[in-house]
Structure 1
Amino acid sequence: MSRRRIGFWYRLAAVIAKPPLVVLFKRDWRGMEHIPADGGFITAVNHNSYLDPLSYGHFQYNSTRVPRFLAKAGLFKAPVVGMMLRGIGQIPVYRESTNALDAFRAAVDAIERGECVAFYPEGTLTRDPGLWPMSGKTGAARVALMTKAPVIPVAQWGAHLVMPPYAKEKKIRLFPRKTLQVQAGPPVDLSRFYDMEPTPEVLREATETIMAAVTAQLEILRGEKAPEELYDYRKVRAEQRRKAEEKGPK
């Protein structure tokens, strides 16, 4: 399978974004040898800052295998941003779609054409108090099992020091100069799932396997162990609601 050319729009985006990234940040990049030289593949990336797409995107661009992100469809309606997103081949996700196969068909098609599709499996910025990855959504696993494409786990760390997630004051902290760390690991082994019916249980287990691989890469970057269990935001919210209902009105 061939590989997607970087193209005019991606190069234009790089011309705009790379100079300030090079000047403002130090880089600690590891594992680029795990990025496939050709053929379609998936990257699964943790998410702890709004700066993440630039940090990870810089790493991936320099590997010469540019990623296609899944982005909210509403962003494509913005005059300038939408034109840029379409130009660099990003994939709109229509959240109102009730058919997961339709929602990710563009991702499947891109991979089958030999492209890289980047997923943030958590679906949003992590709510884990220690900024470890949360439990993931099943989209990346679903596409991986449909295509049998390699899934490369990617961890990043440092962008949160510049732009903290959920900070009360959205203040960018550029100084002292921060280091943006990105590490790619070897492909996640999902082969045991290939001949299984993609039931919710199978997709959940495959997703847990992917998230465990991403977390393992982040452990290497941080030099510490992650919690035994991934933070599950839905369970935490459900527990908070249960306790609030037990308290009742004051």
Structure 2
Amino acid sequence: MNEQTGEAHYAFRRKGGDRLPWFTHLAGNLVKGGLLPLTKREWSGMENVPLDGPVIMVWNHYSDFDPLPVAHFAYNTGRHPRFLLKHSLVKIPVLGPMIRATEQIPVYRGSADAAESLREAIAILKRGGSVVLSPEGTVTKEPDRWPMRGKTGVARLVMETGAPVVPIVQWGSLEIHDRKRDPKFRLGMRKKVTVAALPAVDLSEWDGAEITRENLTAITDRIMEALSGGLAEMRGEAAPPLFDPRQNRKQQSEESEPNE
């Protein structure tokens, strides 16, 4: 065991972090137990996640399956990972009660309750807790699964709390499930899933800045560029510019219009 970082070769939960209710430990071990027969872990960078104090962990979301390895990694960091997730998941039998019991944060998009999830996340961070989210809010629409431009909720959390943002970059889940190619899960031999926590994103130029749309967008882009750069290194490829789904839809619409 590494005494400086509190790591045990990533096989077990780090010591010295958040104290968790017994049910959260149970849920964490259920996720781990389900993943061990499916994945071969290649993890690194856990020392970049602080064991105490507020922290926002963000990840690149490219697969329906990838939240599970992220949850496994976040649990093993020693923190109490509270995910911002789709409120529809709360309605699923068994999963819904587990989400509520482990203090996850449902996001009610397009409703009067939409801002409540951010208020809850801000309160957690101000108490010194951890929050985990995909800034994109959904599986990326970029054709080659690179990160796309994110929503500004993550930037608002930063500006309201000053919490550091630690990128969690990961790749490999498509070998287990890829709905674009096959809706079925690929079971059998364990697939390598690589997860790496990077150093916190440098957002110091916005310290004390006013909360404006321009600043929120700039902070969000900086965070997404950090994820994209980390993924480029992991994949051994050059990352394209951040994909903008709105701009892409506009371009496709213009191309589909008949010529006058």
State TM-score, norm by structure 2: 0.87
Matched residues, number: 245
What's the counterpart of residue 246 of structure 2?
234
Residue 169 of structure 1 deviates from its aligned partner by 2.8
What's the counterpart of residue 214 of structure 1?
227
Over the matched positions of the two proteins, sequence identity in percent amounts to 44
**Which among 13, 27, 35 is matched to residue 21 of structure 1?**
35
Residue type of the partner of 1:75? L
Residues 1:66 and 2:80 aligned together: yes
Change (3 A) 1:75 1:176: closer
The structure where helix makes up a greater share of residues is 1
Residue type of the partner of 1:235? Q
**Which among 25, 46, 51 is matched to residue 11 of structure 1?**
25
Question: For the Cα contact (< 8 Å) 1:111–1:117, is it kept in 2?
Answer: yes
**Which among 135, 139, 150 is matched to residue 153 of structure 2?**
139
What's the counterpart of residue 121 of structure 1?
135
Offset from partner CA, 1:98-143 (integer Å, 9 cap, x none): 6875440000011112211011011111121221111111111110
Question: For the Cα contact (< 8 Å) 1:184–1:217, is it kept in 2?
Answer: no
Question: For the Cα contact (< 8 Å) 1:133–1:211, is it kept in 2?
Answer: yes
CA distance in structure 2 between the aligned counterparts of 1:160 and 1:194, rounded to whole angstroms: 38
Change (3 A) 1:86 1:185: same
Which structure 1 segments of 5+ residues have no match? none
Offset from partner CA, 1:158-201 (integer Å, 9 cap, x none): 0112111x425301123442111101111111121122221111
Residue type of the partner of 1:231? F
3-state SS of 1:246 partner: coil
Residues 1:189 and 2:210 aligned together: no
Change (3 A) 1:24 1:99: closer
Question: For the Cα contact (< 8 Å) 1:133–1:230, is it kept in 2?
Answer: yes
Offset from partner CA, 1:57-104 (integer Å, 9 cap, x none): 111111111311112223223342221100111002121246875440
CA distance in structure 2 between the aligned counterparts of 1:170 and 1:116, rounded to whole angstroms: 33
Change (3 A) 1:239 1:99: farther
Question: For the Cα contact (< 8 Å) 1:44–1:152, is it kept in 2?
Answer: yes
Question: For the Cα contact (< 8 Å) 1:28–1:181, is it kept in 2?
Answer: yes
CA distance in structure 2 between the aligned counterparts of 1:44 and 1:194, rounded to whole angstroms: 20
RMSD: 2.0
Residue type of the partner of 1:65? R
